[in-house]
Homo-oligomer: A and B are copies of this chain.
Amino acid sequence: MAGDNGATLADVAQRAGVSPSTVSRTMRGLSTVSPETRARVEKAARELSFSISRSASSLVTGRTGRVAVLVPNLESWFLGAALAGMAPALAEAGMDMLVYSVTTPEERAHFFDHLPARRNADALLVVSFALSPGERARLDDLGIPLIFVSQHEEHRASVYVDDAEAALRGTRHLINLGHRRIAYLEPADPSGFAWSSRARLDGYRTALAEAGIEHDEELVRQVAQWQGPVLDAAVGRLLSMAAPPTAIFAETDDIAFRLLTVLRGANVRVPDRVSVLGFDDHAMAAAWDLSTMAQPVRRLGREAAELAHAVIGDPEANLERHVVLPVELVPRGSTGPAPRSPVAGGA
């Protein structure tokens, strides 16, 4: 039984008493088959547990029925959610999802040298993957449509969120709560992830300028997103300022979680003394009661998958289409009104 690859189209044809052509037409749902014949063929196919060999059909059609997805890893909540958004959309379109997780330098070298996706997929979705210029160029060699997800790419289809606008709105939320001293924590180690870190910082600055709050570069600090001590130091630095911040905007929820842990350990009450705002709406954000800017990650994935499907189906499709999705504030318990006591001065 094992190794038996199943019945062929010809087997089904014989059983149904028709030609292979007719079986092929039936399986592909072409309309030029009479209802009776169709029923007979479908019955035979079911009895033989037949299903089309994509290898054979793609040899003829040049289409593989597969979409490849390139991700910088598989363990982050973000990428899982993005894939989770793609999977149903692709399945619905009858396409399979090929996943390439490329993390280490060895994996990178291997992937970009061999381009295993070549001739194995009809499109490549690149998700939040920081590419070198050489790697970027190499992807064009694949000869299939590229779609960038959660990253912006000139002259190529891209699906992403408006980071600047989101950071702007998040910062405004803090300002509306009365905060004037608002710190910003940005990741020092994007670790292969690509997103518009710069845009988020810009949005933060725009909001401050808008409110006439003078910008204090001391309040912007780089912290390690995953590792230990650096964040403690940054927080210590902020808490020991003459005019310490009453709110901290973390560029990612991962940073916010670690920030909350540090603050809790230091007995700094949130949000009574310091408000904390994150970015992403990480799966655990609700459990941490973290206010955050929610990225529609699943939708990002879904839109990308749908775009891929559209592009594959239509060779004339616009290969430079950009889809920008909104980010919404999810207010939770980690943000509150600015305290009266520690800060005296206004703007």
Contact = CB atoms under 8 A, between A and B. Distances in A.
Interface of A: 1-6, 49, 51-56, 58-59, 62, 64, 66, 73-77, 79-81, 83-84, 87-88, 91, 94, 96-101, 103-104, 107, 110-111, 114-116, 118-120, 140-141, 143-145, 257-258, 261, 283-284, 287, 289, 315, 319
Given A1-B143, A77-B75, A116-B96, A55 B51 contact: no
B2 A145 contact: yes
Nearest to A284: B284
15 contacts: A4-B143, A5-B143, A51-B114, A51-B118, A53-B59, A53-B119, A55-B56, A76-B80, A87-B100, A88-B103, A88-B104, A96-B116, A97-B101, A98-B99, A257-B284
A10 to B, nearest CB: 14
A119 B74 CA distance: 26
A101 B119 contact: no
Contacts of A54: 55, 119-120
Given A51-B115, A84-B73, A87-B74, A98 B98 contact: yes
Given A98-B96, A143-B5, A74 B64 contact: no
A266 to B, nearest CB: 14
Contact of A119 (B55, B59, B76, B261): B55
A203 to B, nearest CB: 27
Nearest to A97: B99
Given A59-B55, A59-B56, A74-B80, A258 B283 contact: no
A66 B116 CA distance: 11
A101 B75 contact: no
A98 B101 contact: no
A97 B96 contact: no
Contact of A59 (B59, B100, B103): B59
Contacts of A143: 1-6
Contacts of A49: 118, 141
Q: Which 5 A-B pairs have the closest CB atoms?
A: A87-B101, A74-B84, A55-B58, A55-B55, A74-B83
A107 B88 contact: yes
Contacts of A66: 98
